[in-house]
Structure 1
Amino acid sequence: MSVPEPRDPAGPYRVCLVCLGNICRSPMAAQVLWSHLERAGLAGAVEVDSAGTGDWHVGSDMDPRAASTLRIHGYFTDHAARRFDPAWFAERDLVLAMDRDNYDDLRRLASSVGADPDRLRMFRSFATDTDPASEVPDPYYGGKDGFGTVLTMIESAAAGLVGELAARLGTQRAD
């Protein structure tokens, strides 16, 4: 099984999605993952949040292009950007990086606080239609079309992750 055991078997499984500024990929992934969990009956068993490795967008809304793409596809867009806090490694069951640079930053951060590196993964490693090392590219500097491409990648990875979480957690924890 690819997802680690829950830290607290009686509590919710906690997942944090991480990108660079926390205004595009990771908040999109959090909204998509939450929606997929809800449809699978796991919304009460899993908590989802997101953060960035950088601090320049802290407090900002989601990028308007990301929000528009999510709305068009029926997802929520409520979000305020924040920076990943190293203390969260001890509180999260799984930390998912959107790309290799953020993965490497998170791995160094985990090492500096003695966190379990096995709880850190690449988000797209859960997509069944791609290489496990694949990244979700940053659409920030491109056009609106890039956000649709990113959403497709996110939906695929979210579906795979929900399948693994359902297998790990079972239906007894679903609300």
Structure 2
Amino acid sequence: MISARAGTTGSSHARSARLPTVSHVVFVCSGNICRSPMAELVFRAKLAEAGLEDAVTVSSAGIGPWHRGEPADQRAQATLKAHGYPTQHVASQVDDSDLEADLLLAADEGHLDFLRARVVDPSRVRLLREFDPTAKVGAEVPDPYYGDGDGDGFEDVLAMIERAMPGLIAWVRTHG
């Protein structure tokens, strides 16, 4: 089991009263070439827009090794680029440093279960769409990888990710 990393910045009473400190957020999907890198890149952009880019370390990873070292899926890159987001990404697999993150955001229930089985504090693991006010309880970000190639699934995924961003930014402001 991996223990949670405590917030290390600041030692004032006011700071400790706001725990848990968010300093590392990790987005997780299957192979780290579609959903999680899209979420990571969008979140980085939204943090920058909010002036919070230095407040949080953001990363993403996949639960499996299939695409380690590869760029994001071309359809994911095309979708991100079409909406003005960066596309630079190298896939990685979940490791111990990811499991020590302050907040782990799973794309679906399978990833949620995978992560919760590997951390000491399962409350740090949540579904990404929990931050989307329009999503039903337990809503997942579906995998667009096996789509029909037209990219529509990636557009849908991006829309889901974008709807979760205001809630996630608000959560970071409250807990970070």
TM class by smaller structure: 0.7 to 0.9
The residue aligned with 1:124 is: 129
**Matching of residue 107 in structure 1 with residue 116 in structure 2:** yes
* Unaligned 5+ runs, structure 2: 11-20
Counterpart of 1:132, as a letter, is V
Counterpart of 1:137, as a letter, is P
Q: Pick from 115, 138, 141: which aligns with 1:136?
A: 141
Q: What is the deviation of 1:88?
A: 2.8
The residue aligned with 2:170 is: 163
Equivalenced residues, count: 161
Q: Pick from 23, 32, 54: which aligns with 1:44?
A: 54
CA distance in 1, matches of 2:167, 2:137: 11
Residue 14 of structure 1 contacts residue 47 of structure 1 at CA under 8 Å; is this kept in 2?
yes
CA distance in 2, matches of 1:33, 1:54: 22
**Matching of residue 8 in structure 1 with residue 8 in structure 2:** yes
CA distance in 2, matches of 1:37, 1:133: 25
CA distance in 1, matches of 2:142, 2:64: 16
Residue 86 of structure 1 contacts residue 109 of structure 1 at CA under 8 Å; is this kept in 2?
no
CA distance in 1, matches of 2:43, 2:23: 13
Q: What is the deviation of 1:6?
A: 6.4
The residue aligned with 1:34 is: 44
CA distance in 2, matches of 1:100, 1:12: 23
**Matching of residue 95 in structure 1 with residue 104 in structure 2:** yes
Counterpart of 1:106, as a letter, is L
CA distance in 2, matches of 1:102, 1:60: 20
SS of aligned partner of 2:26: strand
* Unaligned 5+ runs, structure 1: 170-175
Q: Which has the larger radius of gyration?
A: 2
Residue 126 of structure 1 contacts residue 132 of structure 1 at CA under 8 Å; is this kept in 2?
no
**1:86–1:35: structure 2 CA closer, same or farther, 3 Å change rule?**
same
User: TM-score, normalization: structure 1?
Assistant: 0.86
Residue 99 of structure 2 contacts residue 115 of structure 2 at CA under 8 Å; is this kept in 1?
no
Counterpart of 1:95, as a letter, is L
CA distance in 2, matches of 1:154, 1:71: 15
CA distance in 2, matches of 1:159, 1:8: 26
The residue aligned with 2:84 is: 74
Residue 24 of structure 1 contacts residue 139 of structure 1 at CA under 8 Å; is this kept in 2?
yes
The residue aligned with 2:17 is: none
CA distance in 2, matches of 1:6, 1:39: 27
Cα RMSD over matched residues?
A: 1.9
